[in-house]
Amino acid sequence: MSGSARPENHVVVLFGATGDLAARKLLPGLFHLAAVGLLPDRYRIIGSSRRTLSDEQFRDLAREAVERFGTSKPNGETWETFQQTLSFAGASPDDTTALVAAIERAEKEIGGAPGRLFHLAVPPAAFEPTVTMLGAAGLAPGSRVIIEKPFGTDLESARALNDTVHAVFDESQVFRIDHFLGKESVDNILAFRFANGLFEPVWNRNHISYVQIDVPETLSIEGRAGFYEHTGAYRDMIVTHLLQVLGFLAMEPPTALDARHLREETAKVFDALRPIDVQHVVRGQYTGYRDEDGVAADSQTETMAAVRVEIDNWRWSGVPFFLRSGKKLGASRQLVTLGFHEPPLRMFPAGARDGRNELVIDFADPGSITVEFLAKEPGAQLRLGAAGMVFRYADSFCAAHSLEGYERLILDAMLGDESLFTQAAAVERLWEISGPLLDDPPPVQPYEPGTWGPQPAVDQLITPFRWRLPHAGPPRD
Ligand code: BG6
């Protein structure tokens, strides 16, 4: 995987430049990369969308986005230099003249033969027309393309999208982005497991009885009904982010930390995933969702999903993986929890086992890792109390050096490093195992905003184990 090398000179074209993702993550992220000196020596960023903006309007829009959502504020010389690299060119399948001209101009200004990166931050329905448009405009050769998620809505549409993409780009030019794989603490799963002798030996069915990947959000759909109504929590979060994280958690040690070997190992995990059993799925919808603007009065879209998956291989056979994510839940957290087997002999007094023996990876930036275990409470009697060992990124390392998921991945795409991007076959496999659920989804059950999903279904799904959230609260300080 890449170190902190700077990429070669580049023209970056941002489709969907006036949208929500560009404002929240991409423009602030590009500016942060510029501010910490990780963008190329010479680069240009061309915003594009179906709307037409002047360069000035786009710079204003970018400044507002960076001001509102960025970690680096848009001031001083760094901003002045950055904003001069921004321009705007509208494009549509019928007319790419302005875009082609803007790219040619930018390449000429940079000089030499700069790299060209297209970022498709557009709604899923616009992936195919945008890719086809790039092909028709002759812009594909020598370029790289970042495609957002979800990549398709089921196996058939993912295959069709892959066919369209491959008619224009070679797979080596395609960077399917899943920004969770760019998060420091998700990446750290690889370091934690494979750089230490302590943890990997217990990372299997002999020692672990369950795994939870829990990503509740307090956010609502934030006005994104147009996207969310056709997507829902399973497609938006589980088949994408949570299963990708599962790939890192469950993989065998790769022969080397390069794209080929990492992807080979995650592909084996996905291959061993059992097709989802609808008996092991809870779909919830928060009360009030149907009143949101743009949502159908009888919408069956789930705003929360909890799923039990199993991996049929030697390492994980019999270990359930519980995945949960949703909107308007009780807290915004991003937790992986591995629960260890109970010791074979219960020699301590009954009632003493209230604590949990879990390893908890909190992968919300800046992230932490906690090992929770039982210890003897001080005193004359041998009573057990909950104890923990905590590693916090922010305490141990300089947070200023950290990059957000998108920042890391845009940088990797410019460097041509595909390690943290998803492959065509892997994406198709995840849709394949989702087939039974997508074909025959259980009915949505209501839940109140601020709770943890429909009860008792969501707790029953995990029985005889317990969700770490909210019962066990946040990792201990
Ligand atoms: C996006 C989803 O991919 O990830 C959103 O579309 C979700 O619905 C978001 O809120 C969560 O990502 P993060 O990194 O902001 O927690």
pLDDT tens, residue by residue, 142-191? 999 999 999 999 999 999 999 999 999 999 999 999 999 999 898 899 99
Q: Which pLDDT band holds residue 92 (cuts at 50, 70, 90)? A: very high
Which amino acid residue places its CA nearest to atom 2 of ligand 1? 236
**Tokens 């993702």 appear where?**
21
Task: Evaluate if residue 353 carries a pLDDT over 70.
Answer: no
- Ligand 1 pocket test target in 149, 237, 362 with most atoms within 8 Å of CB: 237
Give the N- to C-terminal CA distance of the chain in Å, as an integer: 32
Site to substitute for ligand 1 among 241, 303, 335, 362, most atoms within 8 A of C-beta: 241
pLDDT of residue 381: 86
pLDDT band at 473 (very low <50, low <70, confident <90, very high): low
Instruction: Give 347-354 contacts, CB < 8 A, sequence gap 24+.
Output: 348/382, 348/384, 349/382, 349/383, 352/383, 352/384, 353/384, 354/384, 354/386
Determine if ligand 1 sits within 6 Å of the CB of residue 417: no
Torsion sign over Cα 128, 129, 135, 139: negative
Which residue's CA is the closest to the ligand 1 atom numbered 14? Answer: 180
| 31: pLDDT strictly greater than 50 | yes
pLDDT, residue 349, reads 72
Q: Residue 23 — pLDDT band, cuts 50, 70, 90?
A: very high
Comparison of pLDDT for 172 and 400, the residue scoring more: 172
Which two three-digit tokens encode residue 416?
Answer: 């041509």
Residue nearest to ligand 1 atom 4, measured at CA: 237
Cα of 215 from ligand 1 centre, angstroms: 10
What is the pLDDT at residue 256? 94
pLDDT tens per residue, range 108-141: 999 999 999 999 999 999 999 999 999 999 999 9
Tokens 């969700």, located at residue: 467
Is the N-terminal amide bond of 28 cis, ω within 30° of 0?
A: no
Ligand 1 atom nearest to CA at 236: 6
- Ligand 1 atom showing the smallest separation from residue 231 Cα: 6
Q: Per-residue confidence at 476, pLDDT binned at 50, 70, 90?
A: very low
The b-or-e profile of 265-275 (16+ CB within 10 A means b, else e) is bbbebbebbee
Q: How far apart are CA 59 and CA 88, in angstroms?
A: 9
**Exposed, middle or buried: residue 384 (CB in 10 Å: 0-12, 13-18, 19+)?**
middle
Q: With 50 as the cut, is the pLDDT of residue 477 above it? A: no
3-state SS class at 40: coil
Rounded CA-CA distance 162/154 in Å is 12
Provide the percentage of residues in the chain whose pLDDT is more than 90: 87
Peptide bond just before 456 cis, omega within 30 deg: yes
For the four alpha carbons of 120, 121, 127 and 133, in that order, the dihedral sign comes to negative
- pLDDT for position 4: 59
**Tens of pLDDT along 270-291?**
999 999 999 999 999 999 999 9
State both tokens at 330: 């009780």
Residue with tokens 């989702």: 434
pLDDT tens digits for 64-80?
999 999 998 999 999 99
Query: Alpha-carbon distance 324 to 327, whole Å?
Result: 11
Distance CA 117, CA 121 (A): 12
Q: What is the position in ligand 1's atom list of the atom closest to the CA of 364? A: 16
**How much is the pLDDT for 181?**
96
pTM: 0.94
Tell me the pLDDT of the chain averaged across its residues.
94
- Across the beta sheet with 115-120, what order do the strands follow? 86-88, 43-48, 10-15, 115-120, 143-147, 174-176
Model confidence band, residue 350 (pLDDT cutoffs 50, 70, 90): low
Q: Which residues does the annotation mark as catalytic?
A: 241
Ligand 1 atom with the smallest distance to the CA of 240 is 3
CA distance 236 to 230: 10
Find the 476 Cα to ligand 1 centroid distance in Å. 25
Regarding predicted confidence, which is higher, 28 or 184? 28
- Expressed in angstroms and rounded, the spacing between residue 147 Cα and the centre of ligand 1 is 15
C-alpha–C-alpha distance, residues 90 and 16, integer Å: 10
Look at residue 402 and tell me whether its pLDDT is greater than 90: no
Rounded to the nearest angstrom, the distance between the alpha carbon of 177 and the centre of ligand 1 is: 13
- Residue-wise pLDDT for 418-441, tens only, equals 999 999 999 999 999 999 999 999
Assign 351 a pLDDT band (cuts: 50, 70, 90). low
Nearest CA to ligand 1 atom 16: 364
Rounded CA gap, 141 and 248, in Å?
Answer: 32
Per DSSP, the three-state class of 142 is: coil
Q: Is the CB of residue 236 below 6 angstroms from any atom belonging to ligand 1? A: yes
- Whether 217 lines ligand 1, by a CB cut-off of 6 Å, is yes
Dist. CA 217 → ligand 1 center (Å) = 9
Is residue 178 lining ligand 1, measured as CB closer than 6 Å?
no
Q: What is the DSSP letter of 6?
A: P
Q: Is the CB of 148 under 6 A from ligand 1?
A: no
Q: Write out the DSSP string of 227-283.
A: HHTTTHHIIIIIIIIIHHHHHHHHPPPPSSSSHHHHHHHHHHHHHHBPPPPGGGEEE
User: In angstroms, rounded to a whole number, what is the distance separating the alpha carbons of residues 322 and 427?
Assistant: 20
